[in-house]
Each structure stands twice: as structure tokens, then as C-alpha cells.
């Protein structure tokens, strides 16, 4: 039998993450942003984008391919548009500040668009959307990633998993559609590799283009819905990479395989002020009516209920904030090792 996961409360976990990041030169304020992003993913049940990534960020911070104190710059180019240069910093910090600028532009002009360049992995796309919807904005975020998606009709990977996220404010759990353009999120495969689990043979392909159950042998993944997911991945790369003047598709630095150079990732965020079209309270009322009817649909065979995008993740956040975040033994061992190395007590 596999050992049971351990449960760790959010605040001591955040203190641990900030302590480890601070030990490699990340300011406490920036460390808090990273910890908030990672733990929001774990709280939401998106463990593939949570603390499982911490050790990797530490390696890149130590080798200088992520800057612990980047020189970030924002340039407003129009009433509703701007450019954010991340200075090769932590993508969570870069995109957090870009989101702040997007909301400010939306408050002034109705819509705020920010193109982000010279960044790195930014964690869960929904983290930035949750900030926007909490402030009453409709939000969109997306990012380009290194090649992993095998385009429809091709044999080799070309685009990244290229996630995209939309969010809408409600009076309860917000509507948040956060999805990769592959049939499975790459983070789930990365988590399986850390925990020593096999993966379904329908998830990914090896270097020869054959199905594999070994997460460490994965060289490519299927797009969702064939040509639709493949086409959307291209569109996201255009928004994130080409508009920001960053490398695209197969030219993007590999997150784990090319550790000697900065990632130079591009992202894109948008905030839209609902009040410019409809009073926010009225919008929430209308959306609430839609969700009430939607969730009242009769479930199909094998389902207990019909859930809207973001509802299950919202429930996870409520439950895990109360009970603690479950961490698998393999990951707990890795995190505890980081704690010993940097003399930061691991709360597990």
C-alpha cells in the first residue's frame, strides 16, 4: 500500500516557501507572491502547478537563469495597452504586477491589455484570474510554453501545452475556465514523475511517437479535440510569443531540459471592466441565474451533478483551507530536503 499523503496548513506552508526562496535571494514580498500562486494551485486541487515546482525554481534561481531581483519595466503604449518586461524574473511576480497594471488600465479605459516578455514559468493561469474577478473584472490570461503539443496531423511536438484561462465574477465561487490545449496538462505528468506513478497510455507519446506510460519518457502530447486544440495552441503562441517579440514554438527554451539559459517566455493578460457594459451587481445576478439553471440540469449516467467551470476548484479551496493541503510522500521528501539544505523548517 502507498503511504497516505500528509496534510499541511496554508500559512505555515507559505512561511516555508518564502523562507526557501529568501535563502536564494528572493525578496520576502516577491516570495509571498510566489507562495500565494503555488498554494492557490494546491488549494484548488491543481497540484500539478503547486509546490511540486518549487525545487525547479530554486535550481534556476541558483544558476541565474531566473533572476531573484529582476529589473522589471512597464511601458504604457496606449490608454488600454502596455508592455511588461520581466527582466528574466520569476513569472509569478512578473505576471502579478502585469495583472495589477491591466486592472489599472481597465479602471481608466474600460479594458486593460498587457503583453509580457522576458518572463519565466508563471504557475497556474487561474491565479491571476482569481485576482481580477475578486476585484470585479472579467479576466483572461494565457502563456506560451516549450514544445510538447504534437499538432494535428504531425508526428513531433511543435507548440507548448499553452494554457488559457477566462474568469467571470459572481456572488459565490467564480466562473473560471482554466485549460491547457493538450488533452492533459503537462503538470500532471511532471507530478507523476516526482511521485513515481505511471500515467495512462492515452496521455502522451515517447520520442518515437508511440504511446507511453512512463512520465519520464514523454516527448509529446495530444492536442484536445484534434485540430481545434492544435489551432488554439497556435493562436495562444501568437498572442504570447509573437506580440511580445519572444521565441515561439520549438524555439522556446525547455523548462527542464535546457537549464543553462533564461526561459524568455511571453504571456498575455487582459482585464475588462464589467461596469462599462452593465452594472456589476446586475451582471452577477444574470450570471447567477444562468448558473442556477445550469447546475440544476439532470446529471448523465455516472455523474452525481453538473458543475460549471471553476466550481470544483472553489470547493477544493474551501475544504483544503479547513483541513490542510495533501502532499504525497515523494514530494514531501523533496521539500523536506530543501528545508534541511536552507535551514528552513518544513511544516510537514
**Catalytic one of 101, 121, 222, 267:** 121
Give the strand pairing for 137-143 and 164-168: antiparallel
- Nearest C-alpha neighbor of 128 from the set 36, 197, 202: 36
The CB density around residue 9, as the number of other CB atoms within 10 Å, is: 14
What is the C-alpha to C-alpha distance for residues 208 and 180, in angstroms, rounded to an integer? Answer: 23
Half-sphere exposure of 108 (CA within 13 A, CB side): 13
Question: Residue 327 and residue 234: Cα distance in Å, rounded?
Answer: 35
Query: Is 121 one of the catalytic residues?
Result: yes
Task: Return d(Cα 235, Cα 248) in angstroms, integer.
Answer: 11
Q: What span, in angstroms and rounded, lies between the C-alpha atoms of 89 and 109?
A: 28
Give kind and range of the element (H or E) at residue 129.
Answer: helix 125-134
Tell me 184's DSSP state: S
- Helical H segments across 48-90, by residue range: 54-63
Handedness of CA 45, 36, 102, 27 (dihedral sign): negative
One DSSP character per residue, 302-323 reads T-S----TTHHHHHHHHHHHHH
Convert 203-219 to b/e letters by CB count within 10 Å (16 or more is b).
bbbeeeeeebbebeebb
Q: Which residues are catalytic?
A: 121
Amino acid at each position: 500500500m502507498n503511504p497516505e499523503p500528509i496534510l499541511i496548513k496554508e500559512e505555515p506552508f507559505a512561511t516555508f516557501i518564502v523562507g526557501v526562496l529568501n535563502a536564494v535571494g528572493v525578496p520576502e514580498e516577491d516570495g509571498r507572491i510566489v507562495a500565494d500562486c503555488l498554494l492557490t494551485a494546491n488549494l484548488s486541487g491543481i497540484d500539478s502547478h503547486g509546490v511540486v515546482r518549487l525545487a525547479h525554481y530554486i535550481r534556476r534561481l541558483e544558476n541565474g537563469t531566473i533572476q531573484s531581483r529582476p529589473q522589471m519595466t512597464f511601458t504604457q503604449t496606449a490608454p488600454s495597452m502596455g508592455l511588461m518586461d520581466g527582466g528574466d524574473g520569476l513569472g509569478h511576480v512578473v505576471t502579478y504586477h502585469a495583472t495589477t497594471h491591466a486592472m489599472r488600465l481597465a479602471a481608466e479605459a474600460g479594458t486593460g491589455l498587457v503583453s509580457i516578455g522576458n518572463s519565466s514559468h508563471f504557475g497556474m493561469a487561474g491565479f491571476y484570474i482569481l485576482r481580477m474577478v475578486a476585484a470585479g473584472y472579467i479576466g483572461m490570461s494565457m502563456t506560451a510554453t516549450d514544445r510538447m503539443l504534437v499538432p494535428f496531423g504531425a508526428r513531433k511536438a511543435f507548440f507548448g501545452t499553452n494554457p488559457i484561462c477566462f474568469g467571470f465574477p459572481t456572488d459565490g465561487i467564480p466562473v473560471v475556465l482554466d485549460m491547457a490545449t493538450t488533452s492533459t496538462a503537462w503538470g500532471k505528468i511532471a507530478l507523476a514523475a516526482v511521485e513515481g506513478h505511471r500515467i495512462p497510455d492515452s496521455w502522451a507519446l515517447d520520442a518515437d511517437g508511440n504511446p507511453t506510460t512512463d512520465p519520464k519518457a514523454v516527448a509529446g502530447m495530444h492536442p484536445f479535440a484534434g485540430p481545434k486544440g492544435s489551432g488554439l495552441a497556435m493562436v495562444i503562441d501568437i498572442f504570447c510569443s509573437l506580440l511580445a517579440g519572444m521565441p515561439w514554438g520549438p524555439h522556446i527554451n525547455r523548462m527542464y531540459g535546457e537549464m543553462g539559459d533564461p526561459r524568455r517566455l511571453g504571456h498575455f493578460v487582459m482585464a475588462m471592466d464589467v461596469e462599462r457594459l452593465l452594472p456589476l451587481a446586475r451582471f452577477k445576478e444574470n450570471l447567477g441565474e444562468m448558473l442556477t439553471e445550469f447546475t440544476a440540469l439532470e446529471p448523465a449516467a455516472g455523474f452525481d451533478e453538473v458543475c460549471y467551470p471553476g466550481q470544483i476548484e472553489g470547493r477544493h479551496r474551501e475544504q483544503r483551507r479547513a483541513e490542510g493541503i495533501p502532499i504525497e510522500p515523494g514530494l514531501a521528501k523533496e521539500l523536506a530536503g530543501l528545508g534541511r539544505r536552507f535551514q528552513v523548517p518544513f511544516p510537514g
